[in-house]
């Protein structure tokens, strides 16, 4: 039995049974509210009493009933108990938004409860993309006492938002360095043990082919060779990380490059064999990535298919996870992302697996990071709307066609500042309960002063972004371009939706420039529509984050419209000066916003995310928000526009991620 007690002086006491005391002590400590304490079963019980029972047969189910001074919570296992306690605390005004920044109510007011929830999916998780220099990298991969505490807070936050799985990709720094490996092993064992104690399952991502390893991932096969040599190399790499009791090994194959189909299938089967030996209790999953270039398509089994779909011909114990990128979903257009007009092959594969009763997972994103969203920066609650749309459409297909339900949903996460915590929080909750996405967003802000207005603005902004960025295909203009993206464009490697460079626009004929002007008019209309949303007041940090995110979106759209118009005007024989001035003013507006954000991060150590130098084992030796803090993509585009419009000849920043 577990008792949660509160009294008129706003004290809350959690009384836990001995076998749950450690987990719940951490759970309550991470609230950061001294009014809430934890004791054993003999501790004092005063005030509002919430009695928790770990007695439901259905794993992870929870109920919350009663009100006034007596509330009952029943849970199925340690997760069900924590979910019920989270719901009870939310009823008292707490909100679990950013992992390091809980919303604490000024006053704790008793409320009535009548909740009975059974999560709708077997696995509801986050993939912390530690190949990027994000919060999760520091927490789960870089050993220290501080990072171990951060990892515990992340696991606790996932639970409080109804998740039950966390994973991250491994990095190559532990491959040959025994000292680094020993520190990693000790740290990772402690992190995974903590996650397991909370009821979470834990996974590690590994990459198969070193030939397609672009981001220092932990790969299994540095070079191809004889079957025996490959099996030995793969087995050694799996055995090296097998001291940790992983529940899932997630296999990936890199991006933009392919292998011979038979070699792909044979090597994948060797991984399956190695995992069965070294980690017999672990589930092996494999990512079906995106990419539609000719080099990524193969002929196999009398059909032409994307290279990653070859997974279906490997060991049937491997569970394929269907990936999509950015805010695009399985059912609408993808605007040319990775050369896909839509992810129709991925949609068909997922639904066919459900139709056949075969295991399959969905593995979408909540940020793309590389020159697309939070590194620009753009605040994009559109991700919440499209993640909800995916779930609704999959559910509709299940009902209409009698398919097996989707059981696995793991969200690919790349950072939490600039409001990106919202995308992860909302998706975890929508996987557990299918509340309308608008309600999930509004609920997030309901616990903060002026939060109701902020929630309404975020919902309205997501709707505008769906209209302008997806329906009107304008996302290509709002994202950034670095030197690597420009080079990739010249050799046919496309990731984010492509757009003409400013140099290409300057050399277009008049008809093509007219087409661009029409698109840029849409960008200007997007800016005006966002600027017309209700102004937010108040000093709450979460409301300020929405206000700044919206301001950054408006400034970015106005910058793009003015900067591109300057090049168009010069090509049409018009004076570009006023447009360049407008672009400069939008850049200045953006500078004001990013300065406010950098001073208002939720992470108390947030300065590292804008640091120009941060030693870490990824490809990127800086924080993930550095380019946003510099507004590097904006400055790059302004120099390019001046070079084309004024023949300035200035050096163009690379801004390469």
* pLDDT tens readout for residues 485-523: 988 888 888 889 999 999 999 999 999 999 999 999 999
Given a cut of 80, is residue 213 above it in pLDDT?
no
- Residues 285 and 319: beta-carbon distance below 8 Å: yes
Which carries the bigger pLDDT value, residue 636 or residue 656? 636
Q: Which of 428, 388, 430, 390 has its CA nearest to residue 411? A: 428
Q: Residue 319 sits in which domain range? A: 123-129+164-172+203-449
Residue 219 lies in a domain: yes
At which of 449, 472, 507 does a domain end?
449
pLDDT confidence of residue 72: 86
Residue 150 lies in a domain: no
Q: Are residues 410 and 474 in the same domain?
A: no
Grade residue 8 by pLDDT with cuts at 50, 70 and 90.
very low
Grade residue 60 by pLDDT with cuts at 50, 70 and 90.
very high
Q: Are residues 255 and 352 in the same domain?
A: yes
Grade residue 405 by pLDDT with cuts at 50, 70 and 90.
very high
Given a cut of 60, is residue 2 above it in pLDDT?
no
Per mean pLDDT, which range of 5-14, 420-429, 598-607 is the poorest?
A: 5-14
Query: What is the rounded (10 degree) CA torsion for 17, 20, 22, 27?
Result: -110
Residue 90 lies in a domain: yes
pLDDT confidence of residue 7: 40
As a whole-number percent, the residues of the chain with pLDDT over 90 amount to 85
Grade residue 212 by pLDDT with cuts at 50, 70 and 90.
confident
| CA angle (626 as vertex; 129, 640 as ends), nearest 5 | 115
pLDDT confidence of residue 398: 96
Instruction: Please spell the DSSP secondary structure of 62-108, one letter per residue.
Output: EEEEEETTEEEEEESHHHHHHHHHHHHHHHTT-EEEETTEEE--SS-
- Report which listed range, 225-234, 437-446, 494-503, is most confident: 437-446
Helix axes 541-571, 451-465, angle to 10 degrees: 30
End-to-end CA, the chain: 51
pLDDT confidence of residue 17: 82
Q: What is the mean pLDDT of the chain?
A: 94
pLDDT confidence of residue 571: 97
Q: Are residues 474 and 524 in the same domain?
A: yes
Q: Whole-model pTM?
A: 0.96
Given a cut of 60, is residue 5 above it in pLDDT?
no
Grade residue 259 by pLDDT with cuts at 50, 70 and 90.
low
Q: Are residues 256 and 222 in the same domain?
A: yes
**CA distances from residue 400 to 221, 342, 362, 408, 432 in whole angstroms, order as listed:** 43, 22, 19, 20, 21
Mean pLDDT of 591-598: 97
Q: Are residues 381 and 251 in the same domain?
A: yes
Q: Are residues 466 and 426 in the same domain?
A: no
3-state secondary structure of 422: helix
Given a cut of 60, is residue 68 above it in pLDDT?
yes
Output the domain CATH number for residue 29. Answer: 3.30.379.10
Mean pLDDT of 336-350: 96
Q: Are residues 442 and 535 in the same domain?
A: no
Q: Is the dihedral of CA 429, 422, 363, 81 positive or negative?
A: negative
Q: Are residues 557 and 583 in the same domain?
A: yes
Mean pLDDT of 16-32: 91
**Beta-strand pair 165-169/48-54:** unpaired
pLDDT confidence of residue 4: 42
At which of 402, 420, 449 does a domain end?
449
pLDDT confidence of residue 656: 83
Per mean pLDDT, which range of 26-30, 219-223, 433-437, 517-521 is the poorest?
A: 219-223
Report the number of distinct structural domains present in the chain: 3
Output the domain CATH number for residue 340. Answer: 3.20.20
Q: What is the pLDDT of residues 358-393, one digit of tens each?
A: 999 999 999 999 999 999 999 999 999 999 999 999
At which of 449, 483, 516 does a domain end?
449
* CA dist., res. 95 & res. 478, Å (int): 32
Mean pLDDT of 548-554: 98
Q: Are residues 428 and 496 in the same domain?
A: no
Q: Are residues 418 and 530 in the same domain?
A: no
Q: What is the pLDDT of residues 457-475, one digit of tens each?
A: 999 999 999 999 999 999 9
Q: Are residues 341 and 312 in the same domain?
A: yes
Q: What is the pLDDT of residues 281-301, one digit of tens each?
A: 999 999 999 999 888 899 999
Residue 628 lies in a domain: yes
* CA dist., res. 536 & res. 167, Å (int): 36
Q: Are residues 429 and 504 in the same domain?
A: no
* CA dist., res. 229 & res. 540, Å (int): 59
């Amino acid at each position: 039995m577990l008792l949660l007690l509160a009294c008129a002086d706003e004290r809350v006491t959690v009384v836990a049974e001995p076998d749950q005391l450690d987990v719940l002590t951490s759970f309550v400590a991470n609230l950061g509210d001294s009014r809430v304490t934890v004791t054993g079963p003999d501790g004092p019980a005063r005030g509002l009493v919430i009695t928790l029972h770990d007695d439901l047969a259905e794993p992870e189910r929870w109920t919350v009933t009663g009100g006034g001074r007596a509330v009952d919570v029943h849970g199925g296992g340690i997760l069900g108990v924590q979910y019920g306690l989270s719901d009870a605390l939310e009823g008292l005004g707490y909100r679990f938004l950013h992992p390091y920044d809980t919303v604490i109510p000024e006053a704790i007011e008793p409320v009535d409860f009548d909740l009975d929830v059974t999560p709708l999916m077997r696995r509801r998780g986050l993939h912390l993309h530690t190949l990027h220099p994000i919060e999760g990298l520091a927490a789960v991969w870089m050993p220290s006492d501080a990072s171990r505490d951060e990892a515990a807070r992340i696991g606790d936050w996932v639970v409080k938002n109804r998740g039950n799985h966390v994973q991250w990709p491994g990095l190559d720094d532990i491959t040959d360095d025994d000292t680094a490996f020993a520190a990693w092993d000790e740290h990772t064992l402690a992190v995974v043990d903590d996650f397991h104690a909370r009821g979470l399952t834990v996974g590690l991502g590994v990459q198969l082919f070193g030939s397609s390893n672009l981001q220092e991932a932990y790969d299994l096969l540095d070079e191809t060779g004889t079957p025996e040599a490959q099996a030995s190399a793969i087995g050694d790499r799996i055995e090296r990380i097998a001291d940790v009791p992983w529940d899932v090994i997630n296999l990936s194959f890199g991006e933009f490059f392919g292998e011979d189909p038979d070699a792909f299938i044979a090597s994948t089967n060797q991984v399956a064999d190695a995992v069965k030996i070294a980690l017999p209790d672990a589930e092996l999953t494999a990512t079906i990535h995106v990419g539609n270039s000719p080099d990524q398509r193969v002929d196999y089994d009398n059909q032409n298919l994307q290279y990653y779909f070859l997974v279906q011909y490997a060991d049937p114990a491997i569970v394929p996870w269907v990936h999509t990128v950015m805010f695009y979903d399985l059912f609408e257009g993808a605007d040319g992302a990775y050369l896909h007009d839509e992810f129709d092959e991925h949609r068909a594969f997922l639904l066919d697996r459900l139709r056949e009763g075969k295991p399959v997972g969905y593995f979408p994103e909540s940020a793309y990071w590389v020159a697309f969203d939070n590194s620009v920066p753009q605040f994009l609650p559109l991700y919440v709307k499209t993640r909800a749309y995916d779930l609704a459409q999959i559910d509709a297909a299940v009902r209409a066609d009698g398919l097996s339900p989707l059981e696995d949903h793991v969200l690919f996460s790349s950072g939490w500042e600039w409001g990106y915590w919202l995308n992860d929080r909302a998706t975890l909750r929508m996987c557990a309960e299918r509340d309308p996405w608008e309600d999930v967003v509004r609920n997030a802000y309901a616990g903060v002063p002026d939060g109701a207005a902020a929630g309404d603005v975020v919902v309205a902004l997501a709707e505008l972004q769906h209209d302008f960025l997806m329906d009107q295909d304008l996302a290509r203009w709002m994202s950034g371009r670095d030197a690597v993206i420009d080079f990739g464009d010249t050799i046919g490697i496309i990731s984010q939706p492509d757009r003409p460079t400013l140099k290409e626009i300057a050399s277009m004929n008049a008809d093509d420039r007219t087409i661009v002007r029409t698109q840029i008019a849409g960008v200007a209309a997007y800016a005006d529509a966002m600027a017309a949303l209700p102004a937010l007041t108040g000093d709450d940090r979460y409301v300020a984050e929405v206000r700044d995110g919206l301001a950054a979106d408006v400034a970015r759209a106005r910058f793009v419209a003015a900067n591109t118009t300057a090049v168009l005007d010069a090509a049409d024989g018009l004076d570009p000066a006023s447009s360049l001035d407008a672009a400069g003013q939008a850049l200045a507006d953006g500078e004001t916003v990013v300065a406010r954000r950098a001073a208002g991060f939720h992470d108390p150590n947030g300065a590292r995310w804008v640091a120009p130098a941060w030693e870490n084992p990824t490809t990127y030796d800086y924080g993930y928000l550095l380019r946003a803090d510099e507004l590097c993509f904006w400055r790059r585009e302004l120099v390019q526009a001046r070079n084309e419009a004024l023949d300035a000849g200035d050096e163009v920043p690379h801004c390469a991620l």
